[in-house]
Amino acid sequence: MARRFSARTSCLALLILLPSILNSQQPKPRARDLGIPFGGTTGPLNAITDVKGVEVGQRTLISGEGRLVVGKGPVRTGVTAILPRGKMTADPVFAGWFALNGNGEMTGTTWIEESGQLYGPVMITNTLSVGEVRTGVIQWALGHKFDDFDFALTTVAETWDGAVSDEGGLNDIDGFHIKPEDAGRALDDAKGGPVAEGNVGGGTGMECHEFKGGIGTASRVLPKEDGGYTVGVLVQCNYGLRRRLSVAGVPVGQEIRGLMPCRSGNFEVKEPWVASVPVCGAAETGTAPPPRQDRGSIIVVVATDAPLLPHQLKRVATRVSLGVGRMGGFGSNSSGDIFIAFSTANPGTGAESGTIPVTMLSNDAINPVFEATVQATEEAILNSMLAAETMTGADGFRLYALPVDSLRAAMKKYGR
């Protein structure tokens, strides 16, 4: 039976909802908006899509709340797609990849290592959905009449967002809520322009330095004397402990002691992680929680229009580690820290016969690209945390957003 509302009740409800509606329409500040002193010059969007031709699409799945019921939820997950040359072509790009620590997965990397080329998109999702997303990419490619070989060894990377662990999580990862068609929708929605950050796509259920993490992006444009090339980075951030979080050299994680991961509600569940996660009231006030192991992962995708060959792009991918390290990551034993870099220069290298001319940036001229990669990685990680909103998921597990005021206070305290 439908409930009836009077005009007065409806107006009152609207007034109650209006502040939250207005707040949701106000974009959260990015690192640059706060004056964080990162080096380098950004592109116009400060995003991976500043590299001409790159498109990003995302599919976000959020539903349910309360107690975890495998197969039903709560669901906090998604898929992110990065297409080096957009979705209208299967023309490959030169690429290289690197694992700082390999407790994770990025499919297709053996062929990238062998051929030096990336065919199709780079997809990012949760750990148990890699197979579904891979199937979805191949189905999508066949539907768009692309050669099945080009996408047969497609690249899908992951980080863990699951509640079935010894330390909690937001998503019903064992419920396999991501389907092949979700990958297809992310690809269909891919476009250039601004990139959504935070609780979106593959980053929906992720945790970063014990705050809410997710998707983040940034870019750098090199000076004309260094070629004027653009370097763009996109991260899916799901790693690190609070006490190690550093921003532009400031030990921010040691300055922000409250708002630790916690559990809300009174759920009668048997999972061992429940006892190890503090109740939210204690976490908010800064009461020290039990120590957690440094777990989690980060996937980083680097795009550039600099004419780099595969061995040079592998070198670029290794430099991502320095950006992660600046923020406080060190590639812990159970972390999947896997990075891929590609160049949109040298089109047409997928030809099946003949001699293919290519251009290459001198090795002696590559240092600015390395530096831009480190800078953009560092900024993209912080952007992922600044964009993310506080989220509560399975069994009341809650991750708090990085508080902007506390970040500003910490930077000011250290003169940054």
Residue 141, domain member (yes or no): yes
Residue 340, domain member (yes or no): yes
335 part of the active site: yes
Q: What is the mean pLDDT of residues 387-407?
A: 96
The tokens of 375 are what?
């800078």
pLDDT band at 265, cuts 50/70/90?
A: confident
- Structural domain range at position 326: 31-347+360-413
Q: Residue 304's pLDDT is what?
A: 99
For residue range 399-415, what is the model confidence (pLDDT) as tens digits? 999 999 999 999 999 99
Distance CA 301, CA 234 (A): 5
294 part of the active site: no
Total domains, the chain: 1
Residue 352, domain member (yes or no): no
Distance CA 139, CA 247 (A): 42
Residue 25, domain member (yes or no): no
Q: Residue 22's pLDDT is what?
A: 38
Of residues 219, 246, 297, 332, which has the active-site annotation?
Answer: 297
- Residue partners of 331: CB distance under 8 A and separation at least 6: 100, 101, 321, 324, 337
For residue range 56-81, what is the model confidence (pLDDT) as tens digits? 999 999 999 999 999 999 999 999 99
Q: Residue 247's pLDDT is what?
A: 97
Q: Residue 259's pLDDT is what?
A: 94
Residue 7, domain member (yes or no): no
Residue 223 and residue 255 in contact, taking contact as beta carbons nearer than 8 Å? no
Of residues 219, 335, 343, 384, which has the active-site annotation?
Answer: 335
pLDDT exceeds 60 at position 17: no
Residue 329, domain member (yes or no): yes
| Beta-sheet strands, E only, within 6-121 | 55-63, 75-83, 93-102, 117-118
Distance CA 112, CA 370 (A): 20
Residue 23, domain member (yes or no): no
Q: Residue 297's pLDDT is what?
A: 95
- Residue partners of 314: CB distance under 8 A and separation at least 6: 96, 97, 98, 341
Residue 83, domain member (yes or no): yes
Of residues 91, 294, 305, 337, which has the active-site annotation?
Answer: 337
CATH of residue 129: 3.60.70.12
For residue range 139-180, what is the model confidence (pLDDT) as tens digits? 999 999 888 778 899 999 999 999 877 667 999 999 999 999
